[in-house]
Structure 1
Amino acid sequence: MSVDHRRLGRALDLFDSDPLIGAGLPFWLPAGAAARHEVESYVRELERRAGYQHVYSPALGKRQMYELSGHWANFADDMFPPLGDDGADGDALVLRPSLCPHHALVFRSRPRSYRDLPLRIAELGAMYRAERSGVLGGLHRVRSIWLNDAHVFCAPAQIGAEVAGALALVRQAHAALGLRAASFRLSLRGGGGKYAGDDAGWAEAERLLREALDAAGVPYEAAPGEAAFYGPKIDVQIADPAGRESSLSTIQVDFHQPERFGLSYADSSGRPARPVLVHRSLVGSLERLFAHLIEVHAGAFPVWYSPVQIVAVPVAAGQQAAAEAFVREAVAAGLRAEVDHDGSVGARIRAAAGRKIPYVAVIGPREAPDGRVVLRLRDGRQLPAMPGAEAVALVRAVAAARIPGLVPDVV
C-alpha cells in the first residue's frame, strides 16, 4: 500500500492548511519547517561551493516585464490577474510565475565583461501559479511555490560545461536527500505549442543538452511537446512508491530571454556580445520535493533533516535532570533534541517511533550518575550504554555525513 504524503504529513505535524487561507496554500508547521530549513541550508551551501551567488528578488513585477520575457503571451492563463490598474502602460503588478525575468534584470543591473562569465545567480524564491482548484492536492500541486532556482549567464562556448556541471549537482543533491531518479527526459518542441526563438537556437540548445546527457552516461528519452516556451530542457523524473512519475529537477538552455532583455557583456575585444541563459533547479519546488520525500521515506527522513533527531526519555523523575543536561549538550552541538517525560517509558518510546524520530536516549538510574545513555534506534536496534558525549558525537557524525543509515560505518 502506497504512502499518502497528505495523511502522513499531517499526522507528523509537518504541514497543514485552512479554508481561511485557501486551497493550494499550505502552511508549514514547526516540524516541517525544521526539515525544510535543513534542506534549504544544504542546497544553498552546495550551490555556494559550486560558484553560485545568491540573491533575493521581489515576488511581484510589472506586467510589462512579463510581456518582455514572453510569459504574458505564453503563460498568462497560469498567472494570477494583475493587481491594481491594468491599463495599456503595463504598470499593474503581477505575482510572478517564475524567477528568470528578475534574474535577467540582476544581470543587466551592472556592466558585465567576459571575465565575469559564467555568472551563476541562485535564489530560493516564491512564485505563484493560478492552478485550478480541481488539480490541487497536498504539496504536489499548489498555488504558492518556493522554488530552488538558478540562472547561469554564460558565453556560448561555456554552455556545455555549465549544463554538465548543473547535471552533476542535481545528481549530488538527489543522492544526499535519498532520492533516486526514475528517468531522465529530454523535453523538446512539439506540434501545436507556442514557442519563442528561432530554429537555429533550438537546434543548438538541443544538441548541447544531448551531449551533456550522453557524457553523464544516463539513459534518457525524448519527449516532444514538453519543452518550455523559450527552450528545450532536461527533466529529471522521480517516481513515488506507487510508480507515478513527475518532474522535479530541470536544466534548460535559453537563447530567447537574453535577447528580449537586451543582455550583453563586453567580449575580449571590448565588443558587446550576447550571453546565453542556462536555467536550472537542483531540487525543484520545496513543496513537490517534500511531498515526494515524505512518501519515499514514509516520514522517516534521513537523520540530517529529521525534524527531531533525538529525544531523551528519563525512566523516572530522578533522571529528569540528567535527561535535560543531555539535551542541552545535544542542542549545543547543533542537534535538534528534546526531552519527553510524560507517560510510561514504553509509551514514550512508542510515541517517538510514531513520530519517526531516529534516536531515543533512555536514561535510567544506572546511566544517570555517570552521564550515560542507552540509544534505541528507529529501526529497532539498541546500542550498549555509552557516555552522553559519545552519543551526541555519533548522531552528529551520521547527520554530517548525510548517510541513509543510523550509525556510522565504524559502529
Structure 2
Amino acid sequence: MIKRLSSIFLFTAALVISFSISLQQNLPDISFLSNIKNHFNEPLAHAQTFPVSTDERQKHDALCKDSLAGTMTKSTCLAGCPSHMVCAVTNKLNAEEHDELSEDMECFGCRRQICEDVGRLGAAAKTRCDAQPDYESKPAAPLPDGTPCWSCEKIVDECQDQWPGSTVKSTCERQCTDNTKICAKLGAYKGKDCFACIPKNNPKPPKTCGDLGAITHAQCGACSDPTPLCQPAGFRDETGRVCFQCQPKPKACQDIGKTNRSICNNCRTDGGKCLKDGTAPNGEQCYTCEDRKCFDIGKKDRSICQACRADRDRCVLDGRSPSGERCYQCKDLKNCQDEGRTNRDVCATCGEDQVCGYSTTAEDGERCYQCKKKPKKTGCQAEGKLSDWDCESCEDDPDSKCVKAGAAENG
C-alpha cells in the first residue's frame, strides 16, 4: 500500500511539472477563452467509463500502472484522489495491443487542481491575456487551496467621458498611425491612463484648467472656507477636461435674515403664524414668524388705559401676548356702596344723638361715612368748641375750615 501511494505521489509531481511546462510553451491566445480545457485536463464527466467488477478493475489498474507508473482506472482515481486534487486522463490503452481489453481504455492520474479546471486563468494564461490589445486580466475567485485565478475581459474604455477624443493606450497606439503624431497621456480616469493622438511638434501645448484659472476634479480637495464647494466651472480645457472652481457655500435662510421651517415651528408653538417668505440661494424654503399681539388673542394693549381712567376704572396688567407685548384690562373700582359702606348721603339720616363722621376711603377714591353716637360733651365740646375728631367733619365741608382755638381745661 505504501509503495502504491509513493508511486501516485511521484506521478503527480511529474504530471504537474510536465503540464506547467507544456502550458508555458503553448500560451493560448484569446480564442482559448471559449475552450479553455484541453484533452489533458478534460472534466471526468466526459471521460470514458466502464461498469466493471472489482477483479476487472484491479486488472485494469495493473494495465494502467504497467503502461505508465502511478496511473489507474477512473474509479480508483476518484476513490483515492485527495479533495484538493483532480483526476485527469494521462494516456489511452489500445484494445488491439491488450488482449485483456475488449475496447480502448483511458488511464488516469491524480494531479493538483488548476484554475483552468474551473474555467478561469492561471498565472501563465493571465500574462498572455494582458499582452492582448484591448484585453485585461481581473482577479477571479481563487481555488480552494488558495491558488489565485483570473478572468480575461475586454477593456472598458471610459476615457471619452473625461476627455473627448481620448482612449486607452492600446487603442490609441493602434489608431495613431500617422508618423507626425504620437499618443500623449492626458491623465488618469477611473484607474486607467488616457491618451490622445496629437502632433509630435505641437508649438503650443494645450492649455490646462490651471492655465485657465480653474482646477481639475482631482484638485477639488483643496477647496476650503470661505469657498468650500467644488463646482463645475462651465468650460473645458484644451485637452477636453472638465474644469472646476471653488465656490462659496450658498446662503441659507438664516444668512439672509429669515427663518427655516424648524425655527418657524417654534413660532407656532408660541401662538404665532408661520408664513412662507421666499427661497434662499441654496434652495431652502424660508419662512417669517408673524407673532400674535394682544389684539390677536382677545386682549387689549396699553391704549385702553386712557378709556379706563375716563370711566374711573383702573388699568391693570393682563399678561403678555406671544410676541411679548404687555396686555391690559380695565378693572372696575369699588365705591363705598360696593364695599358695603355708605357715602356722605348717610349723614342726612343721622339722629340728634349721632354725628356723621368719616370712616374710610373706597377703592375708587370715594370717602365713606357713618353715623356715630355723639360722645358726652367734655373738654372742647363742653366749651362749645370742636375736638380733633369733630374737625374731620368740618374738613369735609368745602366752605368750612377748622382752625385751632386753644385747649380745653381738661387738656
Give the structure-1-normalised TM-score: 0.22
If you compute each CA radius of gyration, which structure gives the higher value, 1 or 2? Answer: 2
Which structure shows the higher helix fraction?
Answer: 1
TM-score by length of 2: 0.22
